[in-house]
Structure 1
Amino acid sequence: MTYKLSKIISPAFAEPHRKIKMGVVNELVCKGGRGSAKSSYVSVELVLELLKHPLCHAVVMRKVGNTLRTSVYAQICWAIAELGLANKFRCTVSPMECVYIPTGQKIMFFGMDDPGKLKSIKVAFGYIGIAWFEELDQFDGEEQIRSVEQSLFRGGVYSMCFKSFNPPAMARNWANRYVIESKPGKIVHHSTYLTTPPEWLGPRFLADADHLKSINPTAYRHEYGGEVVGSGTQVFENLRLEPISEKFISEQDWHYFGQDWGWYPDPNQFVGCTYSSKDRVLYIYEDYRANRCPDDRWAETIKAHKNDRIVADPGGGGDKSISNFRSMGFDMVAARKGPGSVEAGIKWLQSLPAIVIDPERCPNAAKEFSEYEYERNEKTGEVLQGYPDAANHVIDGCRYALEQVWRRRGM
């Protein structure tokens, strides 16, 4: 039996499939909403990778073991059948595994509610080189995932890890944070039902999505769009986390640079951005941070901007650092600040149609802007007025950098 991948893999996954085939990826994080076909894709890719590496075995995991049979086990069996390999695999539920008969390679299934089974796992030959964490956000955190990976990937020349999940609403969830962390060999892919061929979903699915969109757009964005929509307390609802090319940066006429001072636990924070006055869109593309960093060492970090105008916080001893940097030849000036400047600067940032942040270039900016939320009264749950003065170093740096822009609008 022959098969066509285009019939069983959504077109949205053509690029990650190509990169895995080229061997330039060893971790794929698939996130998205309902009907995005990410689990179907991962199951097919996992089987294909197993066949390409005859000494390799695979482990598929979910947080709770009793969910395996009706989810990932059924999904792998589906992929095997769709690839025309049903007569090549022996699939059993006790033990729960799919064995490739010609070589004896195994796809094994485990729940993390019994981690001892993973620690004692043995294979008759070869090594475990493939892992799939389904519903990633349900696991206990990045440390648990890392511990499992260290136990599994202990030998062999090849490894591939798949991680799939529907993003939780809150940006602070560890899985959402993990997505924006840069790591060699890791790529992140986002898909939705809109990238899936509609005939695969059926009219009822599409009608339900349209209905939710009409009555509750926020729930629709989260459930079907796979968006991190928060709990209604996020300060910045205009974020776009996406790559910003070097070419785009070089083509911009105006660049702005800001400096927020710190030592420990507050860090030194430098931020670089460009602003399109025509579209009123801010692009954040540069982000340096360090703790316990004296002025002379920090000057080495940002020396590429020695001749650029850098607007820095003069408070908390910042005036002395500004003087030090000016004596070293930097074009650094003090932010004006003043009463109401925090509120005015943040309100201006909120008013923009979009704040675009490159999460790979600027992991601190992506994290801060995504997680910055209004505070609540601990007893009543009521949202409090004002902006929290915590975990906002990049945000402050942006306010300083763009003072000349937002002050023209009425401050």
Structure 2
Amino acid sequence: MTKTLLLGAGFSYDLGMPLATELTTTFLNIFSDKTAKQLADILSQNDPYSDGRPINRAAVHEGMELLLEYNRGGGRNYEELLAKLESLGSLPEKSQSDRDSYHYLFSVFYQLLTEALVAYQFASYDVLYPKSLPLFAKLENLLNDQETWVFTLNHDLYLECLAIDLGIPITYGDTGEMDCPINNLDPAKTFRFSASSRTGLNKSASGWLKTRGINLVRLHGGLAEYLYSDGTVLCNPHLKHSRSSDLIEDFKTIESMGYFHNGLRVGGGKDRVITGPDGTLDIICRAMLTGGRKYSTTTNAKKGEEKLVLFEEVLRETDELTVIGYSFGDPHVNYRVLNAMVLNDEMKIRIVDPVHRLKPEFLEQFDYNLRVRGAQSRGPEWMSYVLGEKWDGAQSKALKENEKYRDEISRRVRRVLPY
């Protein structure tokens, strides 16, 4: 039986990463009515696009008011908020200046959310990961004897950390490398990314494992995944480490990369300014996708959606898709699962979730012959149960006790963000 995994935020919860509601609260707490208006005034004075494309104060304040209203209304999904901001620019009465203003504000919000996730990654690794690692020790129970395809919607580095520490081979499918100076002040100090062509991202590519191990595909990008050369090259940290701490140190190095002019680091957001391979100012773009327009609304193969095509390709040969910690909130993912269930009548789905929920409506038509089954448990609990079909009470107790450390993680994150 060929197994494939699809991971959502719930998978990383027991390692200290936030659910969408937590991250939204952390993000919204940055803003008060006063500071939001002050920030809008400051942003309105900037000229991010130049070339005769000014932003305007009214549109920036409108976007910021949208955030404040969302907070007052009890909104708790940052992606919903970003989608609302994106939709403002789609209104026919809006000018190009309005649309540029909303786009600029989106980039500011994107940067703040990224900083929050980076802070969660570092804080949770220090505080909770060492305690949680033994509870994920049975991860291999979810894998095939040969390669296992794992598609994740998360941005963190925890599946990579677990695989490294548990001795499970793992790859992003990269076959090349790219060296860049960490900065232009000391160009002799470089960092080496693993890299691959975005157009070569298919199941038959030579970089994927064909034996025991994990082929990892980040459907929504990752904190340490970048696009280079006009989005044609995917760059990642190397995964050939013996300890996860080395991977985290690599991630810290990537976060520190930059370019200095007159002694000051040149700023950037999603498009980060770095020192390129030739030592000059260069741009590398965060691959992390968020908001309401991660992918298009149709399922035909398109440039830039190679990961979704690969997802479809793998599902065609999958006997059982195990879904852990995903609440089926992304239509572009659900469409591919639905199509796979239609085209592959042998495929079954196991939905692992600690909260009892109704089956997603789009899967109800397949609720026969045990094609759609649930398991009310956390990810680590299911790893321990799946082979011997016996629950580990001590593990469940430890997972619950570990939740007390989330407050310390949140405190560390708040100290980093600009409250």
| TM-score, normalised via structure 1 length | 0.26
Which structure has the greater CA radius of gyration?
1
- Higher relative contact order, chain-length normalized (CA < 8 Å, sep 6+): 2
| TM-score, normalised via structure 2 length | 0.26
